[in-house]
Chain A
Amino acid sequence: QKEVEQDPGPLSVPEGAIVSLNCTYSNSAFQYFMWYRQYSRKGPELLMYTYSSGNKEDGRFTAQVDKSSKYISLFIRDSQPSDSATYLCAMRGGGYQKVTFGIGTKLQVIP
Chain B
Amino acid sequence: SQTIHQWPATLVQPVGSPLSLECTVEGTSNPNLYWYRQAAGRGLQLLFYSVGIGQISSEVPQNLSASRPQDRQFILSSKKLLLSDSGFYLCAWSGGGEQYFGPGTRLTVT
Interface residues of A (CB under 8 A from B): 8, 32, 34, 36, 41-46, 49, 88, 90, 97-99, 101-104
What residues of chain B lie closer than 8 Å to A98, measured between beta carbons?
46, 49, 59
**Total number of B residues with any Cβ neighbor in A under 8 Å:** 23
A66 to B100, CA, bound (A): 24
Q: Are B101 and A45 touching (Cβ within 8 A)?
A: yes
A99 to B92, CA, bound (A): 11
What residues of chain B lie closer than 8 Å to A88, measured between beta carbons?
43-44
Q: Are A46 and B98 touching (Cβ within 8 A)?
A: yes
Q: Are B101 and A102 touching (Cβ within 8 A)?
A: no
Q: Which of B49, B90, B97 contacts A44 (CB 8 A)?
A: B90
Residues B1-41 near A (CB distance < 8 A): 6, 32, 41
How close is B101's CB to chain A, nearest CB, in angstroms?
Answer: 4
Q: Is the interface of A mostly helix, strand, loop or mixed?
A: loop
How close is A28's CB to chain B, nearest CB, in angstroms?
Answer: 20
Residues B77-109 near A (CB distance < 8 A): 88, 90, 94, 96-104, 106
Q: Are B51 and A97 touching (Cβ within 8 A)?
A: yes
Q: A34-B98, A41-B106, A103-B42 are in contact. List 14 more A-B contacts (CB 8 A).
A: A32-B98, A41-B88, A43-B6, A43-B101, A44-B101, A45-B101, A46-B99, A46-B100, A49-B98, A97-B32, A97-B96, A98-B49, A101-B43, A101-B44
Given the known A-B contacts A8-B41, A98-B49, A101-B43, are A43 and B98 also in contact in the complex, defined by CB atoms under 8 Å?
Answer: no
